[in-house]
């Protein structure tokens, strides 16, 4: 199978994730869409690793997972405190500061 197809899939996933960030209101979902984008990156890394015949891309994928996990820890903590003080996780409610 042509590895390029994996790249197309990766780009598609990345686009879906980005669109989700723009469209969805719930902070958790927005965040999940960001994670989707990271996973799209992982797919691209692994594919390119295969293409170039070296291991760098695969190692980077592991790093990305670890970073994503750390991001989840911090992100969920922030979103949860945000939710608890407002009883809403909608990012559109967060507009105290503007202009």
Partner 1 sequence: MSATAAAVHSLWTTRALADTAATPAIPTPHIEYAQLSPVLIVFGAAVLGVLIEAFAPRAARYAGQLAVSVVGLAAAFAALVALAADGYAQGRSHVAAMGAVAVDGPALFLQGTIVLIALVATFTFAERRLDPVAHGNRVDSFAAQGSAVPGGEQEQKAVRAGFTTTEVFPLLLFAVAGMMIFPAADDLLTLFVSLEVFSLPLYLLCALARRRRLMSQEASVKYFLLGAFSSAILLFGIALLYGYAGTVSYGGIADVVDGTAKLTPALANTTGNDALLLIGGAMVVMGLLFKVAAVPFHMWTPDVYQGAPTPVTGFMAAAVKVAAFGALLRLLYVVLPGMRWDWRPVMWGVAIVTMVVGAIIAVTQTDVKRLLAYSSIAHAGFLLTGVIAVSPSGVSSVLFYLVAYSFVTLGGFAVVTLVRDAGGEATHLSKWAGLGRRSPLLAAVFAVFLLSFAGIPLTAGFSGKFAVFKAAAQGGAVPLVVVGVISSAIAAFFYIRVIVMMFFQEPQPQGPTVAIPSPLTSTAIALGVAVTLVLGVAPQYFLDLAGKAGVFVR
Partner 2 sequence: MDPLIGALVGAPLLGAGILLVGGRRLDRTGHWIGCLWAAVSFVIGVVLFADLLSRSPAQRTLTSHLFTWVPVAGFQADVGFQLDQLSMTFVLLITGVGTLIHIYSVGYMEHDENRRKFFGYLNLFLAAMLLLVLADNYLLLYVGWEGVGLASYLLIGFWQHKPSAATAAKKAFLVNRVGDMGLSIAIMVMFTTFGSFAFRPVFAHVGDVSQGRLTTIGLLLLLAACGKSAQVPLQSWLGDAMEGPTPVSALIHAATMVTAGVYLVVRSGAIFNAAPTAQLAVCVVGAVTLVFGAIVGCAKDDIKKALAGSTMSQIGYMMLAAGLGPIGYVFAIMHLVTHGFFKAGLFLGAGSVMHGMNDEVDMRRFGALRTYMPVTFVTFGLGYLAIIGFPGLSGYWSKDKIIEAAFAKGGTEGWTLGAVALVGAGITAFYMTRVMLMTFFGDKRWQPDAEGHEPHPHESPKIMTIPMSILAFGSVFAGGLFSINSAFLKWLQPVTGHSDGHSPVATWEITVATLVVLILGVGLAWQSYGRQAVPAVAPRGSLLTRAARRDLLQDDFNHVVLVRGGEHLTRSLVYLDHTVVDGAVNGTAAGVGGLSGRLRRLQNGFVRSYAVSMLGGTAVLVAATLLMRGV
By the criterion CB under 8 A, which residues form the site for partner 2? 18, 21-23, 25, 30, 91-92, 94-99
C-alpha angle 25/40/8, rounded to 5°? 115
**DSSP secondary-structure letter at 26?**
B
Query: What angle separates helix 56-86 from helix 27-52, to the nearest 10 degrees?
Result: 180
| Contacting residues toward partner 1, per CB under 8 A | 7, 10, 14, 17-18, 21, 27, 30-31, 34, 37-38, 40-41, 44-45, 47-48, 50-57, 59-60, 63-64, 67, 70-71, 74-75, 77-79, 81-82, 84-86, 91, 94-98
């Amino acid at each position: 199978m042509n590895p390029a197809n994996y790249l197309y899939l990766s780009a598609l996933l990345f686009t879906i994730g980005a669109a989700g960030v723009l469209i969805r209101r719930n902070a958790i979902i927005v965040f999940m869409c960001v994670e989707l984008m990271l996973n799209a990156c992982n797919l691209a890394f692994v594919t390119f690793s295969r293409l170039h015949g070296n291991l760098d891309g695969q190692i980077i994928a592991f790093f990305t997972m670890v970073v994503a996990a750390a991001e989840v820890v911090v992100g969920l903590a922030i979103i949860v405190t945000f939710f608890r003080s407002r009883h809403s996780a909608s990012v559109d409610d967060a507009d105290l500061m503007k202009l």
